[in-house]
Amino acid sequence: MSQSQQDERGEQFYAETYDESVPDWPDEINFYQEMAANARRAGGSVLELACGTGRVAIRLAHSGASVVGLDLSQRMLEVARHKSVGLNNIRWVEGNMRSFQLDEVFGLIIVTGHAFQHLNTPEDQVACLECAKHHLMPGAQLVVHLDHQNLTWLGKLPGRKGGRFEAEGKFTHSATGHEIQSFRAWSYEPSTQTAICHARWEEIDANGQVANSWQTAPARLHCVFRFEMEHLLARVGLAVDAVYGDFSRHPLEDKSSDMIWVAHAASVIP
C-alpha cells in the first residue's frame, strides 16, 4: 500500500470515528445553544464553518436552530449527512472556509474545535474572516474557538520530545466493539508558529493484540496568540465583544487552556 493510500485510509477512519474519539469541551454545547437561540430570536440561522461530522451543528439543529454546516472534507460530510437523516432544518455544503459564497446571511457564525488553526498563513486567516463577515446579518456575531497556547509544552517539541508518538487516549470502536488506542506525534516550527501532528490508531482485539492500525498525513496547525487574533479581527473590521478562557464565560487567564472569541462587524464610519 502506497503512502497516499495509507493516508487516505487513515483519513476515512478519522472521519468515521471522530465523534467517538473527540469529546465535547465542558459547557461547550450549552454555550453554542444559547448563542443560537439568541440568533433565532433575532430571525437568523446558524452557519458552522469546518463543521466536520456535525458534532456541534446537529445538536444545534435538534435544539431548534436552522443550521448550515460547511466543510472541505467529503468524508466528514458523508458522516454528517448519515447522522442527520430526518432533520429538515440542517443543510450540508462542501466548501472552503477561506472562499465560500452562500448568497445568504446568518445570525450566528461559529468556528468550533480549534478548526480555525488549520489556516496557516495570515492570508488564509484574513480570507476566512472576511468571508465570515460578508455572511453576517447586521448585529450578528462570529464565534471562534482557539487553543490558548501552552508555551511550556510547545517549548519541548523542537527538541528531544518532538516527533515521537505518545499514547493520547482510548475509545471503543462502535463498528467492532474493540478498543482503539490513539497516538499522536507532535513537533513545532517556532519560525512559523506551526504545530505539526501525526495521528495513529491501533485496534486491540479480544486477545490484547493489535488487529488493525491507521495513520494520517501530518496536520499543520497554526498556534494563534491572543493579540495576533485581536489584530486579525480588527484588520477585517470585526469588533471584539468578548474573549473567554472557557465556555462558562470565565475571563481569559494565564491558566486558561482555550480562547473563545466573540465578535461582530464593526460599524463603518464615513
pLDDT of 2 reads 75
Fold of the domain spanning 4-149+224-265: Rossmann fold (3.40.50)
Beta strands in 132-174 (DSSP E): 136-147, 166-172
Burial status of residue 101 (CB atoms within 10 A of its CB: 0-12, 13-18, 19 or more) = exposed
Residue 269, pLDDT > 50, answer no
Residue 260, pLDDT > 70, answer yes
Distance of alpha carbon 248 from alpha carbon 34, whole angstroms: 12
What is the average per-residue pLDDT within 37-57?
97
Q: Show me where the domains of the chain are located.
A: 4-149+224-265, 151-222
Q: Is the dihedral of CA 194, 22, 109, 242 positive or negative?
A: negative
Tell me 81's DSSP state: H
From residue 108, alpha-carbon distances to 48, 85, 144, 214, 219 in Å are 8, 23, 11, 36, 28
Contact between 60 and 30 (Cβ < 8 Å): no
Nearest CA to 218 out of 193, 184, 192, 168 is that of: 184
Residue 103, pLDDT > 60, answer yes
Q: What percentage of the chain reaches a pLDDT higher than 70?
A: 97
Residue 268, pLDDT > 80, answer no
SS3 category, 31: helix
Q: Lowest mean pLDDT: which of 33-42, 78-87, 211-220?
A: 211-220
What is the average per-residue pLDDT within 64-75?
97
What is the average per-residue pLDDT within 219-226?
96
Residue 147, pLDDT > 80, answer yes
Residue 161, pLDDT > 80, answer no
Distance of alpha carbon 93 from alpha carbon 110, whole angstroms: 15
> Quick one: pLDDT band at residue 221, thresholds 50, 70, 90?
very high
Residue 270, pLDDT > 50, answer no
Contact between 201 and 211 (Cβ < 8 Å): no
The continuous run of DSSP H or E covering 221 comes out as strand 219-222
Distance of alpha carbon 139 from alpha carbon 181, whole angstroms: 45
In the block, cell 471584539 appears at 240
Contact between 102 and 119 (Cβ < 8 Å): no
From residue 180, alpha-carbon distances to 43, 80, 186 in Å are 43, 22, 19
pLDDT of 160 reads 57
Nearest CA to 76 out of 55, 91, 59, 60 is that of: 55
